[in-house]
Structure 1
Amino acid sequence: MSTAPAPPPGGPPPPGRWQRLRAHWADRHALPRFAFWLLSRGTVVLGGCGALYGLNGFLIGWANAYDVMTGITSPAAVQPQWCAWPLSLTGWVAIPAIVGAAAGYVITEQVQAHHARELEDVLAELRRLAEPPPAPSRGGS
């Protein structure tokens, strides 16, 4: 059985788990926009939606919570209504907004990744393509 070698004397101790976690959290600004949004704002919104769904699942039943959130069942048809109305609004407003925001970020990233040519280059190429072709040269063979 071998033991790990000791660190060289005089050097700083290796970073602990919490220090590494803090360093990773500080590096989140270097992520792409979509990943940063998911970590910063998306988790809060999705966590709130999940908590509201969980609360309704325990109070009105999981099937009823799903039906209220997707608009199949009216929140007025279940008891208690005080928790079903916010779930219904979340299903009609927040969930489509989250999906739309996520799709917008992904599409924007893809468009920017493929947008490599300048507008003037594209216009010059279009002008060149729009010109009539040169007349064929008359050569006898």
Structure 2
Amino acid sequence: MAPAKNTLRARLRRSWRSRKALKGVTQWVIDWGVPLAAGAIAVYIYAARTTSPSHVYRAFTLIDAPDRFALWLPSIVGWLLVPAIIGGVAGHIIAQRISSVKAISTEKLFRQRTWGQRLKPPGLIPDLRTYFHGSYAQQNFVDAWVRIAHRNDWHRAQDHWEVFIRDMASTQQYAHLDRHECLRQARDTAHLTLVITAQTGMCIVCERRR
């Protein structure tokens, strides 16, 4: 029951699924903000090929009216998309701050986050290969989850392990946690839940996907 080879595709998939431990605004920036920004940059570059970048900027920021077809698209993007995104994100952040003034979670009682904790990069969903030579509990989990529940199919076991933690981290009960605590609690919950069902030869993800 040797571990499967860790490929670049598997690492990228694990990183992408681990984003669910982030806060809602951060997830939105990754899921939608980055693609929208890339699209706006592409529109800007396309329009800049027909005129000067300063003209595109002035049309994009609605300083000047578009005087040619190539400037209409950045002008429309600047008129509709940018204010809506900025206003929506700012409104969400302000609303979250206001609602959290008198709604502190019990998980945050008496705790103090240092700057080191705030600046620490987000964690990743654990790679099951590291459990193969880990503690007794980790080896027992891998044996049940990979060998019994998934018939030694490492790829499917890792995939379903990531899916379970990803979806657990997306539930409301973890919404108030920071990115590290969210991932840790989702991982611990996955251990406790999956090892019991795996020992009987059942995978919850497999059952739900039938």
CA apart distance, 1:12: 1.1
Pick aligned residue for 1:75 from 54, 66, 72: 66
* % identical aligned pairs: 28
> 1:116 aligned to 2:107?
no
> 1:84 aligned to 2:71?
yes
Q: Based on CA coordinates, which of the two structures has the bigger radius of gyration?
A: 1
Is the contact made by 1:56 and 1:87 (CA closer than 8 Å) also made in structure 2? yes
> 1:12 aligned to 2:11?
no
> 1:94 aligned to 2:85?
no
Residue aligning to 2:28 = 37
Residue deviations 1:95-127, cap 9 Å, x none?
11111122123223323433327xxxxxxxxxx
> 1:107 aligned to 2:85?
no
Would the alpha carbon gap of residues 17 and 115 (structure 1) be closer, same or farther in structure 2, given more than 3 Å must change? farther
Higher RCO (CA < 8 A, seq sep 6+): 2
TM-score under structure 1 length normalisation: 0.64
Is the contact made by 1:33 and 1:105 (CA closer than 8 Å) also made in structure 2? no
Number of positions where the alignment pairs a residue of Structure 1 with one of Structure 2: 104
| Structure 1 runs not aligned, ≥5 long | 1-9, 118-141
Cα distance in 2 between the residues matched to 1:39 and 1:65:
26
